[in-house]
A and B are shown apart, each in its own frame.
Chain A
């Protein structure tokens, strides 16, 4: 396994459309995180999965956002009715334990026009 994979790398969508991103974590990692990063800022936590259970959601994650991790493997992040303010880099990370730190994917850059 070469790392955390995210697809697509870039997505341009019109305001109001729905988009879905996929993350494939490192296979033995049971913890998966989604973060959002805007230009010039550090990543901001969105949500966390341990295996298939979504255990924490940030208040940044409005009801237009939903994330899933079926069977504790890959994860998807869907944004419904996209707004221009949703334009950002969406990062997925996985980990096995705290001391190993996170392994981030290269992210999906979303541009809402």
Chain B
């Protein structure tokens, strides 16, 4: 069973703080790890993605840290804003297949003023 485990299930952070969401995967064939952001009533939207040949990728306030040996990766949201309040999904897939994406169970983030 290909699984991606995500924690925490929910997270409350004060405005300006750092939000951290953690994920772990089992299948070492995975070679592409995207993060998606989903607002209520909307489909998930690609936020940032990383391949395992790099340990960190940063785009604006969003950073992915990747630990290949531990099969873990995390999303850090710096200077969290109320507009970041959404559900975040980590995911994994492998280039050799049909690019079917396996999603984590999601983290509901609430950023309070």
Task: Give, as a whole number of angstroms, the nearest-CB distance from B110 to chain A.
Answer: 15
How many chain A residues sit at the interface, stated as a range, is 20 to 34
Q: How far is the CB of A15 from chain B (nearest CB, A)?
A: 25
- Please give, as numbers and ranges, the residues of chain A lying within 8 Å of B45 by CB-CB distance: 104
How far is B96's CA from A56's CA once the two chains are assembled, in angstroms? 14
Q: List the A residue with the shortest CB-CB distance to B45.
A: A104
Which residues of chain B are within 8 angstroms of A70 by Cβ–Cβ distance?
Answer: none
Q: Mark A67-93, 1 if CB is under 8 A from B, else 0.
A: 000000000000000000000000101
Give the contact stretch, choosing among B13-21, B67-75, B98-106. Answer: B98-106
If A98-B32, A98-B99 touch, whether A40 touches B106 (CB-CB below 8 Å) is: yes
Q: Which residues of B contact A95 (CB under 8 A)?
A: 99
The total of Cβ contacts below 8 Å across the A-B interface reads 60
Task: Tell me the nearest residue of chain A to B106, going by C-beta.
Answer: A42
Q: Cβ of B43 and Cβ of A98 under 8 Å apart? A: no
Q: Which residues of B contact A (CB under 8 A)?
A: 4, 6, 32, 34, 36, 41-46, 49, 89, 91, 93, 95, 98-106
Closest Cβ of chain B to A92, distance in Å, is 8
Chain A residues with Cβ below 8 Å from B99 are 31, 48, 95, 98
Residues of A within 8 A of B6 (CB): 42
Asked if A48 contacts B103 (CB within 8 A), the reply is no
Docked CA distance A44–B99 (Å) = 13
- In the assembled complex, the Cα of A55 lies from the Cα of B106 at a distance in Å of 27
* Most-contacted residue by chain B among A4, A45, A106 (CB, 10 A): A45
Assuming the contacts A101-B34, A106-B43, asked whether A55 and B98 have C-beta atoms less than 8 A apart, the reply is yes
Please name all residues of chain A whose beta carbon is closer than 8 Å to the beta carbon of B101 when the two chains form the complex.
33, 43, 45, 102
Chain B residues with CB under 8 Å of A50's CB are: 98
